[in-house]
Amino acid sequence: MTISKHIETQAIHAGRINDEQFGSLATPLYQTSTFIFDNAEQGARRFAGEEAGYIYSRLGNPTTRQLEMRVAAMEGMADGAATATGMGAVSAALLANLQCGDHIISSNAVYGCSYALISHMLKKFGIQATFVDMSKPELIEQAIQDNTKVIFCETPINPNLVVIDLTAIAQIAKKHQLLSIVDNTFLTPVLQQPAKFGIDLIVHSATKYLNGHGDVVAGIICGSEEMISHIKNTALKDIGATISPHDAWLILRGLKTLPIRMERHCSNAQKVAEFLEKHDEVRQVYYPGLASHSGHKFIGKQMSAAGGVIAFELEAKLNEGAFFINQLKLFSIAVSLGDAESLVQHPASMTHSPYSQEERLAAGISDSLIRISVGLENSDDIIADLKQSLAQLSKRKKIKAA
């Protein structure tokens, strides 16, 4: 079957391997560590790459393969490599493409553990990093050295929702023969396909929207066949952050509803952002769906909508921010995002705690920033919960001031 160019159809059918034996509609789960060879010679041929076929699930698995081909099709890329976690994807993509003596340019604001990997872990192996504000592409060009190999960013950025111009990133990378890697976790291929702008490699935390049900940690890398084969045969095979087939199976199940889930996440988040922007207790809202946001101009060009994550600052002291979070009832206080449930967290003390305070402030991540992942509940209920908590905050401030 020729797979449709429509992402709704790809999310359900792309990469599907028909079950010739029993005709199962649902993807069979090959929950196996190893695969039996017909004879010793066949085993040797498979290891030598002379015969196609599965060997061992760290090296490949038929359930996992369907996930890889499905997400790659949705991203408009040739191939994919599924990983145990999103950090497994980020680390495999970087470790396969950098070596001692190389230099990487990263966005100064990225997810906290990606920052820790690039600034601390890679350094141990002699890989230098420069962190720049990538909303100003000229700063990227200025940071390029003779040994620069990779440009890495997320857009919109976790947690402050700054949008980065992917066309500018791809152009700089091509001009200087660098590899461009973009983390597309926040928008998913439903809302943004970085390959269209010339990005070389895409990484995801599949823990988030791709799976969408808060019951898996996983990741995926998408790129050319050559690039994915290189990553699989080096960083993934030998370091081993391979996905479990069961997790791949759950994500395949979640993916079928990704396009409709993203529609609802976006429409709910838009309403919530507009509500927050008008509220007296809210100092600033960061959501690219708002006309006041610096990234708004990219909607319709680079991204079809703004996604389901919002960051904001309250007209309040730090401890009052914690009070606001604690009064929420429908929201769960939890890190992660992209689940059916609305979640709230405090980046400075949670997801971005690997940064020192100084580094965090330099990266535009304020201590008072609150991040919410708007879930799939009725938007009236989500807004009512925020409203009641803001009302309690306002009351408390008045009592303290009296």
208 is annotated as an active-site residue: yes
Show contacts of 289-295: CB within 8 Å, 24+ apart: 293/161, 293/163, 294/135, 294/162, 294/163, 295/156, 295/161, 295/162, 295/163
Among 156, 189, 219, 223, binds ligand 7XF (CB under 6 A): 219
Residues 166-185 that bind ligand 7XF (CB under 6 A): 183, 185
Q: In angstroms, what is the minimal distance from the CB of 162 to ligand 7XF?
A: 13
**Nearest-CB residue for ligand 7XF:** 86
Selected catalytic residue, list 208, 232, 360, 371:
208
58 is annotated as an active-site residue: yes
**130: which 2 tokens?**
């420069």
Per-residue contact track with ligand 7XF, 327 to 346, x per CB under 6 A? --------xxx---------
Distances from the Cα of 247 to the Cα of 18, 94, 205, 290, angstroms: 20, 23, 13, 35
Residue 207 sits in the site that holds ligand 7XF (CB under 6 A)? yes
Residues 73-132 that bind ligand 7XF (CB under 6 A): 85-87, 90, 111, 114
d(CA 260, CA 294): 27
Query: Residue 230 is which amino acid?
Result: H
Contact residues for 384 (Cβ-Cβ < 8 A; gap 6+): 330
**182: which 2 tokens?**
């973009």
Task: Compare residues 90 and 127 and give the one whose CB is closer to ligand 7XF.
Answer: 90
How many residues in the shown chain lie near ligand 7XF by CB under 6 A? 18
Selected catalytic residue, list 30, 65, 70, 111:
111
Closest C-alpha among 337, 75, 304 to residue 182: 75
183 is annotated as an active-site residue: yes
Q: In angstroms, what is the minimal distance from the CB of 223 to ligand 7XF?
A: 16
339 is annotated as an active-site residue: no
Which residues does residue 129 pair with via DSSP β-bridges, in sequence order?
A: 104
Selected catalytic residue, list 165, 183, 247, 385:
183
**283: which 2 tokens?**
């100092």
Contacting residues toward ligand 7XF, per CB under 6 A: 85-87, 90, 111, 114, 154, 158, 183, 185, 205, 207, 217, 219, 335-337, 351
Active-site residue numbers?
58, 111, 183, 208
